[in-house]
Every structure is written in C-alpha cells, then in structure tokens.
Amino acid sequence: MSNYVITPVSFAQVKEFVDLYHRHNSAPHGHKFSIGLKENDKLIGVISVGRPVARALDNGITAEVTRSCVLEGHMNANSMLYGAAWRASQAMGYKKMITYTQADEPGSSLKAIGMRKVADLPPRGNWADSSKKRIRTIENKKDTANVARQRWEIP
C-alpha cells in the first residue's frame, strides 16, 4: 500500500515540476486550480486544471486537465491525481472534464477514473507556424507539433 497524500500546490510549483519532469510538454500558461501528490513528504506528482483551450469546448461547465506529471515508478499516482481533479471539478460545479493524450499513449490512468476516448485528432502544425518558427526554450522537451492526439472526457 502506498503512502500517497493529496496536497494543494501553487501554480509556481506546478510550472517548476512540469518543466523539470514532464517528458514532452512544458508548463501550462495558466490554471483554475492545481493538485499535488506527495509520498513521504516529497512531491511526486502534479495535475493542473483550467478552462478548455479549444474555444468550442469552453462552455463554462467543462474543465480541462492541461498537465499531469508524475515521477516514474509511482504506481497509480497519476490515477489518484486525475480522480482528485475530477472530484474537485465536480465540487466547483463543473459537469465535464476533458484532457488530451498523444495517440500512442494508452490512457490507462484516464480509463481508471472512468474517462472515455471521444475523439481521435489528426496531427496539427505548431500554433506559430504561420508567422515564425517557434524555438523550444526547454532543452529536454521534444516538439509536440505534428503529433496525433486523442481527446478524453468524463462523464
């Protein structure tokens, strides 16, 4: 049995954690709220929830998980964070929560809390392609443009 403890975290903590440990994304640009997960008083994971990035989905009752990041080797930690985020979203009055994965990711943590895949999205170019090439400023992140994705939702 794990010694995981859900804990509040600041947006600054989320940004730092994601920039250090997320395997392909940099930190989100904003949030409504964030949640952390500790094991033996050490932060091992974070999740950030905001409004939907896609304007068509931003209806005032849908929350979007914009980043989830857990240190490797912590079984069920990501599922715990997603579950806590969904419960907190519901407590705030949200009726739906969405998130995205890359097409090659299995979504096991999402399935564990009852999320279902609702869309396969084709690769798209970088948001800045039309004006200038975006330069990655964080060394350990790969460019996520032109990667197929999946949208998930609950309920």
Q: What structural domains does the chain harbor?
A: 4-154 (3.40.630.30)
Q: How high is the pLDDT of residue 126?
A: 58
Cα dist. 72→49, 69, 96 in Å?
21, 9, 28
Smallest CA-to-CA distance from 70 within 44, 48, 49 is with 44
In this structure, the dihedral spanned by the alpha carbons of residues 44, 114, 85 and 53, taken in order and rounded to 10 degrees, is 110
Smallest CA-to-CA distance from 103 within 88, 120, 81, 85 is with 120
Whole-angstrom Cα distance, residue 116 to residue 152?
5
Helix (H, G, I), strand (E, B) or coil at 107: coil
User: 24 or 123, which is more confident?
Assistant: 123
Q: What is the mean pLDDT of residues 26-52?
A: 94
Q: How high is the pLDDT of residue 144?
A: 56
Averaged pLDDT of the chain: 88
User: 141 or 76, which is more confident?
Assistant: 76
Q: How high is the pLDDT of residue 127?
A: 52
Q: What is the pLDDT of residues 91-146, one digit of tens each?
A: 999 999 999 999 999 999 999 999 999 999 999 765 545 444 444 444 444 555 67
Smallest CA-to-CA distance from 47 within 74, 63, 69 is with 69
Q: What angle do CA 50, 54, 59 make, to 5 degrees?
A: 70
C-alpha dihedral sign at 8, 46, 50, 136: positive
Lowest mean pLDDT among 29-33, 54-58, 70-74, 141-145: 141-145
Given a cut of 80, is residue 73 above it in pLDDT? yes
